[in-house]
Amino acid sequence: MRQGRTYLKKDDQVEVIAGKDKGRVGKVLNVIPAKSQAIVERINMIKRHTKPTEMNQQGQIVEREAPIHTSNLQLICPECTKTGRIGKKTLEDGTKVRFCKSCGESIEKKS
């Protein structure tokens, strides 16, 4: 299986465009490029039942985020604050950056 490509990175703001959480916005916590999935903060929550591990500890139901496919996510541009398509280009100094196709501004964090 070949590795999937994704335009998302950790700490990006994204909006869900399909599925049960459609319209919700969250921050990307983790990206899984091999499966083209991402884990987004407070999106696609699931419940996991855990067994007791020690004598005193009780079993419990843990709620956590499950991965969501990147095709159901759209990046929010930090400059124009709109969701839109993303392009990639190489600058004069040779660095590759992502840019918003609607406003043309770079999405990369300024350091």
* Per-residue model confidence (pLDDT) at position 17: 97
Residues 102/86, Cβ–Cβ less than 8 Å: no
Predicted TM-score (pTM) of this structure: 0.87
* Per-residue model confidence (pLDDT) at position 1: 47
When pLDDT is averaged across residues 15-21 and rounded to a whole number, the result is 96
* Three-state DSSP class for residue 70: helix
**Euclidean distance between CA atoms 53 and 90, whole angstroms:** 52
Q: pLDDT tens-digit profile of 25-37?
A: 999 999 999 999 9
Q: pLDDT tens-digit profile of 70-107?
A: 999 999 999 999 998 999 999 999 999 999 999 999 99
**Euclidean distance between CA atoms 36 and 58, whole angstroms:** 36
Provide the CATH topology of domain 1-76: SH3 type barrels. (2.30.30)
Tokens for 10?
């950790």
Which is more confidently placed, 4 or 68? Answer: 68
* Per-residue model confidence (pLDDT) at position 48: 94
Domain boundaries, the chain: 1-76, 78-111
Q: pLDDT tens-digit profile of 37-77?
A: 999 999 999 999 988 888 778 889 999 999 999 999 999 99
